[in-house]
Amino acid sequence: MLYKLLFNIERVARDYMIVVGLFGALWLWWRYRPGSRRRLQAKPIGVPQVRREVLTSIPSIIVIGCVMPAAFALGLGRHTHFYQSVHAYGRGWGFIAAMVLLMMVIQDTWFYWTHRLMHHRRLFRWAHVTHHRSTNTGPWSTYSISPLEAVVDSGGSIVILLLLPVTFWSLVIFTWINTAYAVYTHLGYELFPRALSKHWLGRWINTSTAHNTHHARGRYNYSWYFLFWDRMMGTLSPDYDEHYRKAGFSAPEAKSR
């Protein structure tokens, strides 16, 4: 049990470091190329903030790494449909892709509603205030959360395992997508095209701009991957579309099309 805990903690930390490193390299390339984009917030992030975020990320990564092994040790495996082989469930990679998409939908739903709950005035200072100390986010803001919030966030993976037939590779792919998208939404830069928020498909996709606005204002934009819940529940920031087209884009709008 101790070995599984240590291995899972190491895996979570390693995946996070790799994703942050990749986004860091992308940010350097993006920053110094011609016509580069600006930060979503003009104020630079100082060393004290980064130091605080790294220190608060350590216990949250430990908790995230412990939740799943602990859940299986308590008998979660008896209630799940987990398969080591891609073809064990009688399907191939197309089925895996469909399962990953469903996992993203479940994760997005879990995150939206638990995120809104943690913003309740009676819960905020206990569960969520650590994360919102970063009003201007960067990659290291991603896991800068309280241990309690780390447990709540990990609950999405448990719900997924209870509801869906999951294979080893669908879980690996989902984990990497989950980490990468979490870092992207805290990046402090917008990577998607300017016209995304008005595209028939893009208007349903969550962006770094939307989540950065959430941190700056302390309200609105509670989603993870998509904007279905925010749009349906009226919690999308009213000026999101206009803000998205302007935030972080250095070039005039006519030249970005």
User: Rounded mean pLDDT of 57-70?
Assistant: 88
Judged by average pLDDT, the poorest of 34-43, 103-112, 178-187, 197-206 is: 34-43
Can you read off the two tokens belonging to residue 135?
């009003």
Tell me the C-alpha distance between 60 and 127, whole Å.
Answer: 12
Residue 239 CB-density burial (10 A; 0-12 exposed, 13-18 middle, 19+ buried) = exposed
Residue-wise pLDDT for 207-229, tens only, equals 999 999 999 999 999 999 999 99
Q: Could you tell me how many residues make up the chain?
A: 257
> What's the predicted TM-score (pTM) here?
0.86
Do residues 102 and 164 lie in contact, with contact meaning Cβ atoms separated by under 8 Å? yes
| 191 DSSP β-pair partners | none
Residue-wise pLDDT for 147-195, tens only, equals 999 999 999 999 999 998 888 888 888 988 998 899 999 999 888 888 8
Indicate if the pLDDT at residue 5 is higher than 90. Answer: no
